[in-house]
Amino acid sequence: MSEKILIGSDHGGFLLKQYIIKQLASEGYEYQDYGCYDQNSVDYPDIIHPLASDINNGKAKMGIIMCGSGNGVAMVANKYKNVRAALCWDATQTALTRQHNNANILSMPGRFIDFDRAWEMVKVFISTEFEGGRHLQRVEKIGKTL
Ligand code: RB5
């Protein structure tokens, strides 16, 4: 499995995505940009379905997604069985969703957090391990519907 980080946004998250890409590149991370590629209005499902599908199929382990609120992109990503996308606003939430939920996609609200905070969150997301233990059976139950 590739260690490449998949990244995508709509126009609401575009500027934040570009900043995160610049930071990833400067620290030598491999990434794949799923768009969008400018600030023109797009429909976030068109960007996020391909990215989430690639995580779902095991082509990569981690994704970072943004829209204005972080909600729309997370909703799309969470349609996929093997995706656990977490909408986070700070580094503590981000650490917790890796430790407890084994989140594999970080969703951020591009219109509500500043770039420095977002980059701190990305670094925490990449470097924090799932704790397993009592959290494992809970995570395994996420995909079970009634
Ligand atoms: C776009 O205006 C906005 O609706 C979108 O970025 C996102 O916040 C949707 O959830």
User: Rounded to two decimals, what is the model's pTM?
Assistant: 0.97
Enumerate the active-site residues.
Answer: 67, 100
Rounded average pLDDT over 1-11: 88
Q: Measured in angstroms, how far is the CA atom of residue 69 from the centroid of ligand 1?
A: 6
pLDDT of the residue at 91: 98
* Residue 110 pLDDT class (50, 70, 90 cuts): very high
pLDDT over 70 percentage in the chain: 99
* Residue 1 pLDDT class (50, 70, 90 cuts): very low
Ligand 1 neighbours by CB, cut-off 6 Å: 10, 12, 44, 67-69, 71-72
Residues 57 and 30 sit within 8 Å (Cβ to Cβ): no
Q: Measured in angstroms, how far is the CA atom of residue 84 from the centroid of ligand 1?
A: 20
Asked if residue 127 has pLDDT above 50, the reply is: yes
Distance CA 62, CA 5 (A): 5
pLDDT of the residue at 85: 99
Asked if residue 145 has pLDDT above 50, the reply is: yes
Cis, peptide link before residue 36, omega less than 30° from 0: yes
pLDDT of the residue at 109: 98
> How many Cα atoms are found within 13 Å in the side-chain-facing hemisphere of 14?
13
Residues 95 and 121 sit within 8 Å (Cβ to Cβ): no
Rounded average pLDDT over 59-83: 98
Asked if residue 2 has pLDDT above 70, the reply is: no
Mean of pLDDT over the chain: 97
Decide: helix, strand or coil at residue 40.
coil
Nearby residues of 116 by Cβ (< 8 Å), 6 or more positions away? none
* Residue 75 pLDDT class (50, 70, 90 cuts): very high
Q: Which domains does the chain possess?
A: 5-142 (3.40.1400.10)
Q: Measured in angstroms, how far is the CA atom of residue 29 from the centroid of ligand 1?
A: 27
